[in-house]
Structure 1
Amino acid sequence: MQFAHFDAGRFLADYWQKKPLLIRNPWRSWANPVEPDELAGLSCEEDVESRLIVQARGGWKVEHGPIPESRFGKLGRNPWTLLVQAVDIHAPDVAALIAPFRFIPDWRIDDVMVSYATDGGGVGPHFDQYDVFLIQGLGRRRWQVGAMCDAATPLLPHDDLRLLADFDVAEEWVLEPGDILYIPPRMAHNGVAIGDDCMTYSIGFRAPSRSDLIENWCGDLLGRLQDDDRYEDPEPAPQDNPGEISAPAIAKLHAMIMETMGDRAAFARWFGQHNSAPKYPEVDFRPEQPVTGRDVQAFIADAVPLTRNPASRFSFIRQDADSLLLFVDGQCFELAGEAAALAERLCAGGRIEMDQALGRSAAAMELIVALFNQGSVAFETGD
Structure 2
Amino acid sequence: MQLSNFDVTAFLKDYWQQKPLLIRSAWDCWTNPVDPDELAGLACEPLVESRIITRRDHAWELEHGPVPESRFAKAGRDPWTLLVQSVDHHLPSVAALLDPFRFVPNWRIDDVMVSYAVDGGGVGAHFDHYDVFLVQGLGRRRWEVGALCDDDTELLAHDGLRLLADFQATEEWILEPGDMLYVPPRVAHRGVAIGDDCMTYSIGFRAPSRAELIEAWADDMIPDLSDSDRYADPHLLQQDNPGEISAEALAQLQAMIAETLLDKTRFARWFGQYNTTPKNPEIDWRPEHAEDADDVQQRLAAGMTLVRNPASRFSLIRETDTSLLLFVDGLCIACSDDTARFAERVCAETELAVPSNSAPATLEVIALLVNAGSLAFEAED
What TM-score results when the alignment is normalised by the length of structure 2? 0.98
CA contact (8 A) 2:144 2:191 kept: yes
Distance 1:382 1:38 in 2: 27
Deviation at 1:382, TM superposition (A): 5.7
Range with bigger deviation, 113-122 or 22-31: 22-31
Distance 1:25 1:49 in 2: 30
**Count of residue correspondences:** 381
TM-superposition CA deviations, 1:64-115 (whole Å, max 9, x none): 0001111111111111100000000000000000000110000000000000
Is 1:57 the equivalent of 2:57?
Answer: yes
- SS of 2:215's partner is helix
TM-superposition CA deviations, 1:104-160 (whole Å, max 9, x none): 000000000000000000011111110000000000000000111000111110111
Q: Which residue of 2 aligns with 1:26?
A: 26
TM-superposition CA deviations, 1:21-66 (whole Å, max 9, x none): 1101121321000010010010011100000111110111000000
What TM-score results when the alignment is normalised by the length of structure 1? 0.97
Is 1:381 the equivalent of 2:356?
Answer: no
Distance 1:204 1:332 in 2: 25
**Quick one: which amino acid aligns to residue 47 of structure 2?**
D
Q: Unaligned regions of 5+ residues in structure 2, if any?
A: none
Deviation at 1:365, TM superposition (A): 1.1
Range with bigger deviation, 15-24 or 281-290: 281-290
Distance 1:342 1:104 in 2: 21
Q: Which residue of 2 aligns with 1:102?
A: 102
Distance 1:19 1:246 in 2: 48
Distance 2:287 2:32 in 1: 30
Distance 2:10 2:335 in 1: 35
Q: Which residue of 2 aligns with 1:372?
A: 370
Q: Which residue of 2 aligns with 1:155?
A: 155
**Quick one: which amino acid aligns to residue 378 of structure 1?**
A
Distance 1:191 1:280 in 2: 27
Range with bigger deviation, 10-19 or 237-246: 237-246
Q: Which residue of 2 aligns with 1:141?
A: 141
**Quick one: which amino acid aligns to residue 82 of structure 1?**
L
**Quick one: which amino acid aligns to residue 367 of structure 1?**
V
Distance 2:367 2:41 in 1: 34
**Quick one: which amino acid aligns to residue 371 of structure 2?**
N
CA contact (8 A) 2:4 2:25 kept: no
Q: Which residue of 2 aligns with 1:15?
A: 15
**Quick one: which amino acid aligns to residue 374 of structure 2?**
S
Q: Which residue of 2 aligns with 1:116?
A: 116
Deviation at 1:4, TM superposition (A): 3.0
Q: Which residue of 2 aligns with 1:220?
A: 220
TM-superposition CA deviations, 1:163-202 (whole Å, max 9, x none): 1111111000000001000001100100000000000000
Q: Which residue of 2 aligns with 1:35?
A: 35
2:360 to 331, 355, 362: 362
Q: Which residue of 1 aligns with 2:200?
A: 200
- SS of 1:37's partner is helix
Distance 2:82 2:151 in 1: 27
Is 1:349 the equivalent of 2:327?
Answer: no
RMSD of the alignment, in Å?
1.2
Distance 1:245 1:208 in 2: 35
Distance 1:260 1:369 in 2: 35
Range with bigger deviation, 22-31 or 279-288: 279-288
Runs of 4+ deviating beyond 4 Å: none
Q: Unaligned regions of 5+ residues in structure 1, if any?
A: none
Percent of aligned pairs with the same residue?
63
Distance 1:364 1:278 in 2: 23
**Quick one: which amino acid aligns to residue 346 of structure 1?**
V
Deviation at 1:353, TM superposition (A): 1.5
Q: Give the 3 Å change call, closer, same or farther, for CA 290–93 of structure 1 in structure 2.
A: same
CA contact (8 A) 2:148 2:188 kept: yes
**Quick one: which amino acid aligns to residue 285 of structure 1?**
W
Q: Which residue of 2 aligns with 1:232?
A: 232
Q: Structure 2 matches for 1:185-334, cutoff 5 A?
A: 185-334=185-334
Distance 1:28 1:366 in 2: 42
Deviation at 1:318, TM superposition (A): 0.4
